[in-house]
């Protein structure tokens, strides 16, 4: 019985493992545990499904055995990745009562390769039982490692959500942390000093918290989400260098996601300048995800950033091409160096 070549991407390194066609999910996870010495309670196993062009979380309902994965792969190679899970550990009662709002241990829950964090300050949305669907949708849309949800504004009636508590548990908002008090929000910002903080706030609480933001350099941008822009423009005008105001949730989401795509392009360019092509490619991949997500929400195709990444016809030598070339040159250099020092090696493809 022939073995199945499987590429596993983990911690910026790609390793090749062998799977049997009959292997189930538990078999695959056991192989990953032995190969990478990881705790599978902390990681999701994801599979690159070339039918949809995205990484999909593997579960028992998704496939019968490894041979199914081969059918949905490209070039007869199964591609997997291990993604650190993010589970919101902040207790809503602690937030409301100011008892230990956030500890530094919370930082380890975030994937180190993605350093942004979204905080939503609002008297209603910040309460864990309220607006669960809205917060979950935003949280997934801004998480580059998530399989993105469909943003259907008809299903997310913000006015109705604000008025009516949800029974659904609000424990996991991916990269979104909600809070309903300025004091708690400031504690949350301070506890995540090593993250790039994106703050969404209501108009009334935004007016209260903005004078303190100057002392929080980790806060990169602020989005005010309110029902009446003209009511808040008087105080907001002093902060327009870091602040944008929106009165519609779709406009807010699109602007936020497009800003994230630009951030990852800039971050990838820094990696490229520092000759770290693998990390650069990760950032460029995230940027493309955000561009496609924003385009799907507002039904418009903005091509400028895509051309920056992919290049323009006919050569298509954008940032992704440059990073791939840099990685290819580095690989060739190290291989040539190894051969010159150790002699020829057999390479099995």
User: Where in the chain does DSSP place strands (E)?
Assistant: 4-10, 13-19, 43-49, 54-57, 78-84, 116-121, 176-179, 196-201, 219-225, 243-246
Find the CATH number of the domain harbouring 78.
3.10.20.90
Assigned domain for 204 exists: yes
Which residues, given as ranges, of the chain have pLDDT below 50? 86-113, 148-151, 153-174, 347-349
Q: How far apart are CA 289 and CA 331, in angstroms?
A: 27
Do 284 and 113 meet the contact criterion of CB atoms below 8 Å apart?
no
Find the CATH number of the domain harbouring 104.
3.40.50
- Quick one: pLDDT at residue 153? 45
Same domain, 185 and 295: no
Provide the whole-model pTM.
0.59
Give the domain range for residue 49: 4-84
- Quick one: pLDDT at residue 145? 66
Domain count for the chain? 3
99 C-beta neighbours (distance < 10 Å), count: 9
Assigned domain for 145 exists: yes
φ and ψ at 278, to 5 degrees? -65, -45
Assigned domain for 11 exists: yes
What region, left, alpha or beta, does residue 53 occupy, with left being phi > 0 and alpha being psi -120 to 50 degrees? left
Same domain, 77 and 145: no
Q: How far apart are CA 285 and CA 187, in angstroms?
A: 32
Q: Is 313 exposed, middle or buried (0-12, 13-18, 19+ CB in 10 A)?
A: exposed
Structure tokens at 127: 């309460």
Sheet strand arrangement including 54-57: 13-19, 4-10, 78-84, 43-49, 54-57
102 C-beta neighbours (distance < 10 Å), count: 20
Same domain, 52 and 111: no
Same domain, 71 and 28: yes
The sign of the CA dihedral 158, 188, 181, 237 is: negative
Assigned domain for 175 exists: yes
Same domain, 213 and 241: yes
Kindly state the DSSP code that residue 149 receives in the 8-state scheme.
Answer: P
- Quick one: pLDDT at residue 103? 29
The DSSP H or E segment spanning 51 is none
Nearest to 130 by CA among 98, 90, 91, 170: 170
Assigned domain for 212 exists: yes
Task: Give me the residues paired with residue 79 across strands.
Answer: 7
Same domain, 77 and 99: no
Diameter of the chain by CA atoms? Answer: 74
Q: How far apart are CA 295 and CA 254, in angstroms?
A: 8
Among residues 247, 275, 292, the one where a domain terminates is: 247
SS3 270: helix
- Quick one: pLDDT at residue 126? 64
- Quick one: pLDDT at residue 270? 92
How confident is the model over 277-302, as pLDDT tens digits?
A: 989 998 998 898 888 888 887 767 77
How confident is the model over 229-261, as pLDDT tens digits?
A: 999 999 999 998 889 999 888 888 889 889 989
Tokens 């005010």: give the residue. Answer: 224
- Quick one: pLDDT at residue 348? 45
Assigned domain for 338 exists: no
Tokens 């993250």: give the residue. Answer: 195
The residues, any chain, with a CB within 8 Å of residue 97's CB and separated by 6 or more, are none
Same domain, 24 and 75: yes
Q: How far apart are CA 132 and CA 136, in angstroms?
A: 6
Same domain, 215 and 268: no
Assigned domain for 252 exists: no
- Quick one: pLDDT at residue 76? 79
Structure tokens at 49: 């499904």
Assigned domain for 340 exists: no
- Give whole-number Cα distances, 95 to 104, 116, 134, 177, 213, in Å: 15, 21, 20, 11, 20
Among residues 50, 84, 118, the one where a domain terminates is: 84
Same domain, 136 and 243: yes
């Amino acid at each position: 019985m022939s073995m199945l070549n499987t590429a596993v991407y983990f911690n910026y390194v790609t390793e090749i493992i062998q799977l049997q066609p009959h292997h189930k999910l538990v078999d695959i996870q056991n192989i990953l545990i032995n190969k990478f010495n990881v705790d599978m309670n902390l990681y999701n196993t994801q599979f690159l499904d070339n039918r949809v062009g995205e990484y999909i979380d593997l579960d028992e309902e998704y496939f019968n055995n490894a041979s199914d994965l081969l059918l949905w792969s490209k070039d007869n190679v199964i591609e997997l990745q291990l993604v650190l899970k993010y589970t919101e550990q902040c207790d809503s009662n602690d937030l409301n009562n100011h008892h230990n709002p956030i500890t530094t241990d919370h930082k380890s829950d975030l994937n180190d390769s993605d350093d942004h964090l979204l905080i939503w300050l609002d008297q209603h949305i910040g309460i864990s039982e309220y607006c669960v669907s809205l917060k979950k949708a935003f949280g997934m849309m801004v998480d580059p490692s998530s399989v993105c949800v469909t943003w259907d504004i008809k299903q997310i009636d913000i006015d109705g959500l604000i008025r009516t508590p949800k029974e659904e548990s609000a424990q996991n908002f991916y990269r979104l942390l909600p809070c309903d008090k300025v004091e708690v929000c400031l504690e949350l910002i301070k506890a995540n000093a090593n993250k790039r903080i994106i703050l969404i706030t209501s108009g009334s609480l935004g007016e209260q918290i903005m004078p303190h933001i100057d002392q929080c350099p980790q806060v990169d941008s602020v989005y005010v989400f309110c029902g009446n822009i003209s009511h808040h423009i008087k105080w907001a005008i002093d902060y327009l260098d870091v602040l944008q105001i929106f009165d519609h949730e779709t406009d807010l989401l699109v602007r936020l996601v497009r800003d994230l795509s630009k951030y990852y392009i800039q971050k990838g360019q820094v990696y490229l300048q520092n000759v770290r092509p693998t990390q650069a490619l990760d950032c460029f991949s995230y940027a493309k995800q955000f561009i496609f997500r924003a385009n799907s929400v507002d039904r418009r195709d903005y091509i400028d950033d895509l051309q920056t990444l992919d290049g323009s016809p006919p050569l298509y030598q954008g940032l992704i091409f440059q990073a791939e070339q840099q990685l290819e040159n580095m690989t060739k250099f190290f291989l040539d160096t190894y051969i010159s020092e150790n002699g020829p090696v057999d390479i099995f493809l």
